[in-house]
C-alpha cells in the first residue's frame, strides 16, 4: 500500500507534513508541492540524556537545524507555519508532532488502525518536543555568483 493512503505512515508524520513528495496539497498538484522542498540537515550537540524518565538534567544539548532554499518565505516559512503548525494541510491528519507549534502547546494527530498497538483515532502530545531557542536567516550566494560575480578579478 502507498504511504499517501495513510496505512504505513500517518499523514501527520513529520516526514509527510514537511515533505509530502508525490502528494497533491492545498497548494496544487504534486509538481507544485516539489517546489517547496528544502535541503536540510540537523546536527546534534551535547551529550545524550542518560535517563529521559528523570527529566532534564540541566546540561545543554540540542539540534542545530540548517537548511538551504531559494525562498525563505515560500519554502521554510511555509513548511513551518502553514504545514507543520496546521492540523490540515498538506494532507490532513493532524499537527506535526516533532516541530509543530500550537498556541495551546498541544498537538493532535490521527493514527490509522494499522499502527501497531493502536486501534485508530486521535492521539495528543501534551507538551512541545522541540523548543526553538534562537535562529537566523543568512544569505549564501550560489556557486555561480561566487565564480562569475564575486570571483572577478580587476
Supply the DSSP string of 80-100, one letter for each residue: IIIIIT-SSTTT-SB--TTT-
Three-state DSSP class for residue 78:
helix
Please check the confidence at residue 132 and state whether its pLDDT lies above 60.
yes
Phi-psi category of residue 96: left, alpha or beta, with phi > 0 → left and psi -120 to 50 → alpha: beta
Higher pLDDT, 132 or 21: 132
Per the CB < 8 A criterion, the answer to whether 100 and 127 are in contact is no
The residue ranking higher by pLDDT, 88 or 117, is 88
Q: Which helix (DSSP H) or strand (DSSP E) does residue 110 occupy?
A: strand 107-111
CA distance 58 to 62: 12
> Tell me: the pLDDT tens digits for 37-56?
899 999 999 999 888 888 88
Of the two residues 38 and 92, the one the predictor is more confident about is 38
Q: Where are the alpha helices (DSSP H) in the chain?
A: 14-18, 30-34, 143-145
pLDDT, residue 154, reads: 63
Work out how many domains the chain is built from and give that number. Answer: 1
Confidence check: pLDDT of 16 > 50: yes
pLDDT given at position 10? 78
Q: Taking Cα atoms as reference points, which of 61, 66, 68, 67 lies closest to residue 44?
A: 61
pTM for this model (two decimals): 0.72
Instruction: Give residue 7's domain range.
Output: 3-150
106-to-38, 139, 142 alpha-carbon distances in Å: 26, 34, 39
Give the model's confidence band at 67: pLDDT under 50 very low, under 70 low, under 90 confident, else very high: very high
Residue 79: burial class (beta carbons within 10 Å; 0-12, 13-18, 19+)? buried
Residue 108, pLDDT score: 84
Amino acid at each position: 500500500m502507498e504511504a499517501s493512503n495513510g496505512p504505513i505512515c500517518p499523514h501527520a508524520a513529520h516526514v509527510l507534513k514537511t515533505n509530502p513528495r508525490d502528494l497533491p496539497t492545498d497548494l496544487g498538484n504534486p509538481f507544485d508541492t516539489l517546489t517547496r522542498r528544502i535541503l536540510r540537515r540537523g546536527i546534534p550537540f551535547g551529550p545524550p540524556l542518560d535517563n529521559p524518565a528523570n527529566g532534564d538534567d540541566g546540561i545543554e544539548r540540542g539540534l542545530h537545524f540548517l537548511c538551504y532554499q531559494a525562498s525563505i518565505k515560500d519554502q521554510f516559512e511555509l513548511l513551518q507555519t502553514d504545514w507543520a503548525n496546521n492540523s490540515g494541510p498538506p494532507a490532513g491528519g493532524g499537527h506535526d508532532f516533532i516541530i509543530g507549534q500550537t498556541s495551546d502547546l498541544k498537538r493532535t494527530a490521527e493514527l490509522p488502525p494499522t499502527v501497531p498497538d493502536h486501534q485508530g483515532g486521535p492521539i495528543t502530545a501534551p507538551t512541545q518536543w522541540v523548543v526553538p531557542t534562537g535562529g537566523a536567516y543568512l544569505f549564501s550566494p550560489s556557486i555561480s555568483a561566487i565564480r562569475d560575480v564575486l570571483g572577478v578579478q580587476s
